[in-house]
Amino acid sequence: MRLILLGPPGAGKGTQAQRLVDEHGIPQLSTGDMLRSAVAGGTEVGLRAKAVMDAGKLVSDDIVNAIVSERLDQPDCQAGFILDGFPRTLVQADATEKMLASKNMALSCVLELRVDDDVLVDRIGGRYTCANCGAGYHDENLKPATEGVCDKCGSTEFNRRPDDNPETVRTRLQAYYKETSPLLGYYYAKGLLKPVDGMAKIDAVTAQIDDVLSSL
Ligand code: AMP
């Protein structure tokens, strides 16, 4: 299964991607995570990307296209993958089409998580991840079973993203509407777009996605 998760920041792409990883055993390819680890590792890509990410703007197409193409060549992507946060521009979508064709990989579908704008800022404001394993949580919607302890790995250290503040979130939303939302039409016209109600509870969104995937 080769999937793209599309939707604005805070739509639940990362949360659903983690569940798809657990359920289907295919890797989550999050360009945001890859860029954050490049920033943390102080690599050349990280140094170039940091200021752009902190401002909530998009990193250049060349950089992200190259990191995704390289990642798709890893053996764990042979059985499938979940692209989370990529492609994010029409240039990236065209590049995706070319790179998948050259690797003999066809997309299964593009899952669109639909969420009302006014809940996105609140959702993003409350989210955090485990500092050890990266599992995602939310102050209201997705708390660990034991407060302060990661369900997955037992760690008690958590991180909040520096770009998850209200001002940067607004810039990220603008980037979504300007650069990424045209991809909805792009994939609709290819017959690949599958809308999902991202306003539903997390388990209900997962159930909708399962229905879509079993109908493919
Ligand atoms: P995310 O974790 O998907 O919210 O991404 C965090 C930040 O990384 C974004 O605000 C962008 O600055 C950058 N980024 C992630 N994916 C892409 C992409 N496909 N194209 C350009 N910039 C990206």
**Catalytic status, residue 172:** yes
Per residue in 119-170, pLDDT tens? 888 888 889 999 999 999 999 889 999 999 999 999 999 999 889 988 898 9
pLDDT of residue 167: 87
Question: What is the helix (H) or strand (E) element at residue 18, kind and residue range?
Answer: helix 13-24
pLDDT digit string (tens) for 130-142?
999 999 999 988 9
Q: Is 86 in the pocket of ligand 1 (CB under 6 A)?
A: yes
Q: What's this model's pTM, rounded to 2 decimal places?
A: 0.92
83 φ/ψ angles, rounded to the nearest 5 degrees = -85, 120
Q: Classify 29 in phi/psi space as left (phi over 0), alpha (psi -120 to 50) or beta.
A: beta
For residue 204, pLDDT over 90 is answered with yes
Q: How many CB atoms lie within 10 A of CB 105?
A: 16
Catalytic residue selected from 13, 36, 123, 194: 13
